[in-house]
Amino acid sequence: MEGRAVNEPIVAVLCGGTSPEREVSLGSGKFVAAALAYAHPTQLFVVDTDALPAGLDPARHVVCSTLHGIFGEDGGMQRLLEAEGFHYAGSDARSSDLCFDKWRARQTVSAVGVPVAPGRFFPATNKPAFAELAAELGEQVVLKPNRQGSSVGLQIVSTRAGLSLALGGLRAGDWLAEKRIVGRELTVGLLRGRAMGLVEIVPKSGVFDYSSKYTKGLTEYFAPAKISEELAARLRQVSETAFATCGCRDYARLDYMLAEDGEIFFLEINTLPGMKETSLLPMSARCVGLDFNALCRELVAPAVERFHLGRPRKP
- DSSP codes, 209-266: -HHHHHSTTSEEEESS-S--HHHHHHHHHHHHHHHHHTT--SEEEEEEEEETTS-EEE
Please state whether beta strands 174-179 and 155-157 pair in parallel, antiparallel, or not at all (unpaired).
unpaired
Question: Considering the entire predicted model, what is its pTM?
Answer: 0.91
In contact, 164 and 260? CB cutoff 8 Å: no
User: 190 CB contacts (<8 Å, ≥6 apart)?
Assistant: 196, 239, 240, 243, 248, 251, 252, 253, 254
Q: Which fold has domain 98-115+182-291?
A: D-amino Acid Aminotransferase; Chain A, domain 1 (3.30.470)
CATH entry, 119-179, from 3.90.1150.10, 1.10.10.10, 3.30.70.1070, 3.30.1490.20: 3.30.1490.20
In contact, 118 and 136? CB cutoff 8 Å: yes
pLDDT of residue 262: 93
In contact, 45 and 242? CB cutoff 8 Å: no
In order of 2, 72, 152, 289, 298, the CA distances from 32 in angstroms are 21, 16, 23, 18, 12
Q: Does domain 10-90+293-309 have CATH number 3.40.50.20?
A: yes
CA–CA separation, 44 and 83 (whole Å)? 21
Tens-digit pLDDT string for the chain (315 aa):
444 555 899 999 999 999 988 999 999 999 999 999 999 999 999 999 999 999 999 999 999 999 999 999 999 999 999 999 999 999 999 999 999 999 999 999 999 999 999 999 999 999 998 889 989 998 899 999 998 865 677 888 888 888 888 898 888 999 999 999 999 999 999 999 999 999 999 977 665 555 555 556 678 999 999 999 999 999 999 999 999 999 999 999 999 999 999 999 999 999 999 999 889 999 999 999 999 999 999 999 999 999 999 865 444
pLDDT of residue 162: 87
Query: For residue 19, which of 179, 154, 148 has the smallest C-alpha distance?
Result: 148
User: Do 98-115+182-291 and 119-179 have matching folds?
Assistant: no
Q: Which residues are catalytic?
A: 21, 150, 214, 253, 255, 268, 270, 274
**Per-domain residue ranges for the chain?**
10-90+293-309, 98-115+182-291, 119-179
What values do phi and psi take at 221, rounded to 5? -130, 140
In order of 12, 50, 298, 306, 310, the CA distances from 303 in angstroms are 12, 22, 10, 5, 10
